[in-house]
């Protein structure tokens, strides 16, 4: 999925990728003055998209850790129709839970990780990480697959290699899909990407899914990423978006097959803001993560990024 070795003449996507890869800090990024920050969207670049509760009710949003309906905003990038962004729609504190799940649980067998390609598991990866300085082998974790496990060699989803996606991820993605009008969305596969500050993800299209009509839903957690979103050709200059913890990107319709990439991960000077929780309100929620428990997850996530990427693979009957 991630390899796109096609050499293209006049590759403007690559040109941008190289510019952003060299950036060292948030200040550098701001000086460049080209990357779109989602907290202050330029109406010349984005259209507001009307969300719809459709078959949902406020309670469905609440159980998925989302804010009340009227507080969730969605925008479409005018230059790339179908590319939607939902700037952090989560309740305060809910991101702690998602991060905990990605670090502690979602990589457990039968889910697969890149580490399984060359080592046998010996207990839970995160429990082992905490016994080591600086998380030890856990730093080598690059991806976990859920649902239909992706076969990276043959670039297909393996029909026979399926485990139900985690319920919280499945429910959350169904709710997000419904809000943008996809009432029958089936979250059938997912990739959880784990990035260090010097990781990159090169330009690619996600075209292994049989179903190209269902949107691809992507949730950013932890450190920030410069995300490049282009069109179906690399000869067009991509737009760069800064994705911060909690931001949701949706690739739908014409943007479903757009080239995209992550040239840069940056430690976010405002990262603490995304994980604050109102303890009185949150303690009753099933997703509550106490400050004490949060500490180790926080130490990892302040210098790493997690991306949860959910797809429908098959066509609806
Ligand atoms: O990390 C991201 O934001 C994008 C990940 C991605 O494109 C993928 O997993 O296919
Ligand atoms: Fe992708």
Q: Report the sign of the C-alpha dihedral through residues 25, 26, 27, 28, in that order.
A: positive
CATH class belonging to 12-311: mainly beta
Contact assessment for residue 82 and residue 251, using Cβ atoms and an 8 Å cutoff: yes
Return the pLDDT at 2: 60
Return the pLDDT at 188: 97
What is the average per-residue pLDDT within 75-85?
Answer: 98
Tell me the CA–centroid distance for residue 298 and ligand 2, in Å. Answer: 26
Residues with CB under 6 A from ligand 1: 1, 191, 193, 201, 206, 218, 225, 227, 260, 262, 307, 309
Those residues whose C-beta lies under 8 Å from the C-beta of residue 293, and which sit 6 or more positions away, are 100
Tell me the CA–centroid distance for residue 205 and ligand 2, in Å. Answer: 6
CA–CA separation, 90 vs 66, rounded Å?
4
Confirm whether residue 116 is marked as ligand binding: no
Confirm whether residue 207 is marked as ligand binding: no
Return the pLDDT at 282: 76
What is the average per-residue pLDDT within 9-16?
Answer: 95
- Please report how the helices 94-104 and 291-301 are oriented relative to each other, as an axis angle in degrees rounded to 10: 70
The rounded mean pLDDT for the chain is: 94
Those residues whose C-beta lies under 8 Å from the C-beta of residue 15, and which sit 6 or more positions away, are 237
Q: Is the pLDDT assigned to residue 297 strictly greater than 90?
A: yes
> Which ligand gives the minimal distance to the CA of 199?
1
Return the pLDDT at 1: 60
Question: Closest ligand 1 atom to the C-alpha of 249?
Answer: 3
What CA–CA distances, in Å, run from 54 to 8, 86, 182, 205, 267?
43, 17, 9, 30, 37
Question: Closest ligand 1 atom to the C-alpha of 309?
Answer: 9
Contact assessment for residue 38 and residue 87, using Cβ atoms and an 8 Å cutoff: yes
Which mutation among 216, 264, 307 tests ligand 1's pocket best, with the greatest number of atoms within 8 A of CB?
307
Question: Closest ligand 1 atom to the C-alpha of 218?
Answer: 3
What's the distance, Cα to Cα, between the start and end of the chain in Å? 26
pLDDT band at 286 (very low <50, low <70, confident <90, very high): confident
Beta bridge partners of 239: 229
pLDDT in tens, 157-177: 988 999 999 999 999 999 999
Tell me the CA–centroid distance for residue 144 and ligand 1, in Å. Answer: 12
Which residue's CA is minimally distant from atom 10 of ligand 1?
206
Which residue's CA is minimally distant from atom 2 of ligand 1?
307
pLDDT band at 305 (very low <50, low <70, confident <90, very high): very high
DSSP string, 102-139: HHHTTTSTTSEEGGGGT----S-HHHHHHTSGGGGGGG
What is the average per-residue pLDDT within 85-106?
Answer: 96
Degrees to nearest 5, angle at CA 35 with 31 and 37:
105
Which residue's CA is minimally distant from atom 3 of ligand 1?
307
Return the pLDDT at 257: 96
What is the average per-residue pLDDT within 288-293?
Answer: 92
CA–CA separation, 164 vs 190, rounded Å?
10
Residue, of 277 and 193, whose pLDDT is higher: 193
Q: Is the pLDDT assigned to residue 6 strictly greater than 80?
A: no
Tell me the CA–centroid distance for residue 227 and ligand 1, in Å. Answer: 9
pLDDT in tens, 104-156: 999 999 999 999 998 899 999 999 999 999 999 999 999 999 999 999 889 99
Residue ranges per structural domain of the chain: 12-311
Contact assessment for residue 256 and residue 215, using Cβ atoms and an 8 Å cutoff: yes
Residue 152 belongs to what H/E stretch? none
pLDDT in tens, 200-229: 999 999 999 999 999 999 999 999 999 999
């Amino acid at each position: 999925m991630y390899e796109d070795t096609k050499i293209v003449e006049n590759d403007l996507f690559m040109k941008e990728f190289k510019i952003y890869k060299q950036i060292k800090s948030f200040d550098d990024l701001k000086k460049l003055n080209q990357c779109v920050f989602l907290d202050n969207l330029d109406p010349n670049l984005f259209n507001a998209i009307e969300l719809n509760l459709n078959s949902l009710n406020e309670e469905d949003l609440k159980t998925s850790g989302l804010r009340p309906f009227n507080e969730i905003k969605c925008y479409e990038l005018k230059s790339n129709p179908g590319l939607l962004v939902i700037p952090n729609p989560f309740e305060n504190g809910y991101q702690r839970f998602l991060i905990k799940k990605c670090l502690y649980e979602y990589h457990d067998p039968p889910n697969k990780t890149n580490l399984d390609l060359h080592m046998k598991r010996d207990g839970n990866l995160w429990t082992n990480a905490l016994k080591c300085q600086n998380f030890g082998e856990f730093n080598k974790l690059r991806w976990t697959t859920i649902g239909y496990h992706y076969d990276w060699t043959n670039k297909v989803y393996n029909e026979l290699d399926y485990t139900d996606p985690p319920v919280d991820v499945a429910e959350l993605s169904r709710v997000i899909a419904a809000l943008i009008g996809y009432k029958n969305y089936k979250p059938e596969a997912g990739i959880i990407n784990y990035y260090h500050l010097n990781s990159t993800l090169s330009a690619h299209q996600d075209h292994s899914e049989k179903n190209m009509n269902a949107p691809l839903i992507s949730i950013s957690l932890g450190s920030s990423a410069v995300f490049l979103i282009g069109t179906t050709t690399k000869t067009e200059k991509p737009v760069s978006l800064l994705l911060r913890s909690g931001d949701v990107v949706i690739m739908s319709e014409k943007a479903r097959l757009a080239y995209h990439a992550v040239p840069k991960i940056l430690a976010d000077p405002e990262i603490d803001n995304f994980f604050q929780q109102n303890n009185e309100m949150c303690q009753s929620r099933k997703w509550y993560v106490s400050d004490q428990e949060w500490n180790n997850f926080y130490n990892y996530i302040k210098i790493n990024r997690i991306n949860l990427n959910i797809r429908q693979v098959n066509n609806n009957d």
